[in-house]
Structure 1
Amino acid sequence: MTSEAKRAKIDDDTPLLNFLRWCNGVGLGLSSKVRVSKEGTVAEYGMLAQDDIEVGEVLFTIPRAVLLHQGTTSVSALLEKERVSLESSSGWVPLLLALLYEYTTPQSKWKPYLSLWTDFKMLDHPMFWSKAERDRLLMGTGIPEAVDKDLANIQREYRDVVLPFMAKHPDIWNPLTHTLELYMQLVAFVMAYSFQEPQEELEEDDEEEEEDEKAPNPPMMVPMADMLNHVSKHNANLEFTPDTLKMVCVCPIKKGEEVFNTYGQMANWQLLHMYGFTQPYRNNADDTVDIPVANLHKAAAKDGDQQLLKEMWEVLQEKGAFVFGKNGCLTDMELHNTLKMLCMSREEFVEFKDNDGWEDDEDEEEISQAFSNEGLPGLTSKWKQYIHEAARLTVEGYHNIDRDRVLMEERALLEGLSSRQRNALHVRYGQKTILEKVMELTKT
């Protein structure tokens, strides 16, 4: 199998047949060279080629009127009128209110589409796992912390924004029907199935600050496009035009092969967090691991002037993590600048502060190469020492490293795991493999 199932839908095909009839009725054009199927796909549903498909061929087209978002819902006028009161940190409240309404309205235009998901509990995002299970299976991966933050934000958003809005419009929304539980399920639905239209390119003479201020386009539900599963080496891509959206073949697809879309360059921890599935760690070319900045701080604190280190850290004000992929550090400039400062003498540090930083004379390409897998062994001894120790400290944050290796190597044991255990293993083992490579390349 190329990846775990993206979705878990119902077992019979009646909803699918109704959905396909609906697609035909609303002008969603499906090529005769593809079909939606349960057989031969990596998920409950996926798309298969019925004939050889060449690069550039359109697999299906979706009229914009078929897209489901706050601008196309039956309650769009009200959502637009109340737009200011629906503002939130996520920016998703209008879409979620639209989904709450359309999902529970029998006469909804999108009923044949939304009926594909008769029970959102089948979505298996870590946000639906117990906290104990998340902490046990995903410790060290960064996912438990991300989920805790998500859950707190969802609950606050529902309490402070959604409930007051529903109270103002009891003829449309009812807290007894549109519960926090359903709201959370729809958040997962949007996370797993929505699409975001790429930002339009600004004119060349536009001010740079205008680009910074431009808000991202809100997510929207795209029937049929969300039937495709994801792999990093995909063979189809969704294109946006003024009137329609088109799924276009970007690599030759042989008859009988599955059609795959991509959600972008997604590490396994991101796929599991956002979509509820993973790719086997060897197959995900975009897998990454975070080395917390705090671990680099701990590594540097093992020697040197502690007071100087404290002053340096106050200047750096670094938070978060340095990201490493399969081919090296992806946040190379940030790591370079941090290491450069940590290895300064007091005199150099004083001069640095007096000059308000260093001159921007570093070659970004050279830095990128220096922090690639090929370049890491050539770093200075001190830099390698710090990176190595920070990676080692990160590895210590995981449970049962040796046990994970046995599970990956013993096919019978791997197949005996539950889907949650297997997904968590792909995340953990993929991350630890990258860390072990970093440690190997930075031995001193």
Structure 2
Amino acid sequence: MGKKRNAKKATNRNAGPVKLLPQIRGQLTAIVDDVFKRCTKVPPAVAPSAAQEWAEYLEIYELIEKIQDLEKGMCGTRHVRYPAPDVYSDRSSGTLYVLAEGEKNNGPLIERDPILQHMGNVALALHVLGEFVNPQSSWQPYLRILPSTYSTTLYFTPQQLQSLKGSPVLEEAVKQFRNIARQYSYFYRILQSSPEAKSWPIRDYFTFKAYRWAVSTVMTRQNRVPVKESSGQMALIPAWDMTNHEQGIYSTDYDNEENCSVCLAQRDFKAGEQFSIHYSQRPNTELFLHNGFVYRDNKNDSLAIKLGVSKDDPLHDEKVALLSSLGLPSAGSFMLIPGQHPVSPGLLAFIRVFSSLDKWKDDGEKAKGLLHEDCDVGTTVQDKTWSFLNIRVALLIRSYPTTLEEDEAALPTLSGVDSLIRSQVICEKIILRDAALYLTSHISK
């Protein structure tokens, strides 16, 4: 059973907030400005190659390392003792007050800032950080027992990320680090330059390490709860957020009458057995990136294949229109999935349109059948479809530096992040292996 132990387990707990030393702020600000410029530069007309994106990531990572070296010169503000073991008593249904208290402290920033207006998870991360640095916060016992680090890719070194070579998740991990570096530099500049920021509790404690921790805390634990006149608000639910994931049914709800979250058992649990919940239907890529674990037998797993209609294609407009009528983008990620039919409907339809447009461009009703494997598209189009996918899958398999067999043999000898990375790669390769067998069987018919 896949668990989030990697994400939730830590060798040490949070020892309390640390404060930026005034004498390093000038030097720190100069490096932060450099990070911000690199993370917000206008993208080139031609999309950068994977090698260029990796080189830019390394430059940003090195700057973040310099920032963290400077931020090590800090002092603690108080002695912190470990909390009592019953810190969750009578608190699990009051989580929304965390958000309300956070808004009191950071209200002006939230009211004005476009990022915080539209990204509830970022706003919640700042709320969490505000409560963390406030010694009078009633949430201190809860925050102090949270892990001090996480196994999300935000904590990976470049060497560890390189172990993902060939994996589609590598690009996503690099983008995620870049996004968090951009957010950190963006808010640091606001906190150090805005006159109003002098009264904001997080100003003197806003380090990259602290922001990464707050973001990771929210990313691995957030839940959406109803709020009047709103689609919902992101919140942390103490105790509930310690529950591990298991394949099953979604069994969480919200009781509007009692104004509290409700967790129902998704199956029978014996006395002494670990209680688990089903997070939702997420592929391992999302669990790996945002939760820091991989579920080996994930029925909702998938592997992305990036495809797009070339702008130079003479039938570009017609293909885009047909894809749009099917609810598909003209460029994006299309999925291979586990099971007996590994080619997802979207991927199948895209390749069919890509291979031969003439048959369906003038018949919208007939075109809808392209999403179904048993649609009669003719031998020529079918052969083109399977051959194209077979070649693409073979190329993806060869892009990894190791084989599935080598990964399976090495996994028992690994631990920590190395084991996590290898588990993710194994899950991807199993999907590719099964897809290759499926496609080969169809081509030979």
Which TM-score applies when normalising by structure 1? 0.70
Are residues 1:419 and 2:419 paired? no
Aligned mate of 2:113, from 86, 91, 94: 86
| Aligned-CA RMSD value | 3.5
Are residues 1:224 and 2:239 paired? yes
**Residue of structure 2 in register with 1:339 after alignment:** 351
**Residue of structure 2 in register with 1:383 after alignment:** 385
Query: How far apart, CA to CA, are the structure 2 residues paired with 1:362 and 1:199?
Result: 42
**Residue of structure 1 in register with 2:9 after alignment:** 8
**Paired amino acid for 2:240:** A
Are residues 1:291 and 2:324 paired? no
Is residue 105–residue 200 contact of structure 2 (8 Å, CA) maintained in 1?
no
Cα distance, 1:378 vs structure 2: 12
Are residues 1:18 and 2:33 paired? no
**Residue of structure 2 in register with 1:249 after alignment:** 265
- Please give the per-residue CA displacement for 1:125-149, whole angstroms capped at 9, x wherever unaligned: 11111123202x2123222211222
Are residues 1:272 and 2:321 paired? no
Q: Which secondary structure does the structure 2 equivalent of 1:321 belong to?
A: strand
Residues 253 and 378 (structure 1 numbering): CA distance in 2 closer, same or farther, change over 3 Å?
farther
Structure 2 residue runs without a partner (length 5+): 14-79, 324-328
Is residue 68–residue 220 contact of structure 1 (8 Å, CA) maintained in 2?
no
Query: How far apart, CA to CA, are the structure 2 residues paired with 1:340 and 1:78?
Result: 55
Cα distance, 1:165 vs structure 2: 4.4
Query: How far apart, CA to CA, are the structure 2 residues paired with 1:244 and 1:266?
Result: 25
**Paired amino acid for 1:159:** S
Are residues 1:233 and 2:260 paired? no
Structure 1 residue runs without a partner (length 5+): 29-61, 201-213, 299-305, 372-376
1:349-364 correspondence to structure 2 within 5 Å = 352=361, 358-362=363-367
Cα distance, 1:228 vs structure 2: 0.4
Are residues 1:367 and 2:371 paired? yes
Residues 150 and 216 (structure 1 numbering): CA distance in 2 closer, same or farther, change over 3 Å?
farther
Residues 330 and 258 (structure 1 numbering): CA distance in 2 closer, same or farther, change over 3 Å?
farther
Aligned mate of 2:332, from 291, 297, 320: 320
Is residue 384–residue 442 contact of structure 1 (8 Å, CA) maintained in 2?
yes
**Residue of structure 1 in register with 2:155 after alignment:** 128
**Paired amino acid for 2:439:** T
Percent identity, aligned pairs only, is 17
Is residue 237–residue 248 contact of structure 1 (8 Å, CA) maintained in 2?
yes
Is residue 68–residue 221 contact of structure 1 (8 Å, CA) maintained in 2?
no
**Residue of structure 2 in register with 1:138 after alignment:** 164
Cα distance, 1:314 vs structure 2: 6.9
Residues 439 and 253 (structure 1 numbering): CA distance in 2 closer, same or farther, change over 3 Å?
same
Q: Which secondary structure does the structure 2 equivalent of 1:258 belong to?
A: coil
**Paired amino acid for 2:88:** C
Aligned mate of 1:114, from 113, 135, 143: 143
Query: How far apart, CA to CA, are the structure 2 residues paired with 1:308 and 1:414?
Result: 48
**Paired amino acid for 1:187:** V
How many equivalent residue pairs? Answer: 357
**Paired amino acid for 1:406:** E
Aligned mate of 1:149, from 166, 175, 179: 175
Cα distance, 1:87 vs structure 2: 2.3
Are residues 1:100 and 2:129 paired? yes
Which TM-score applies when normalising by structure 2? 0.70
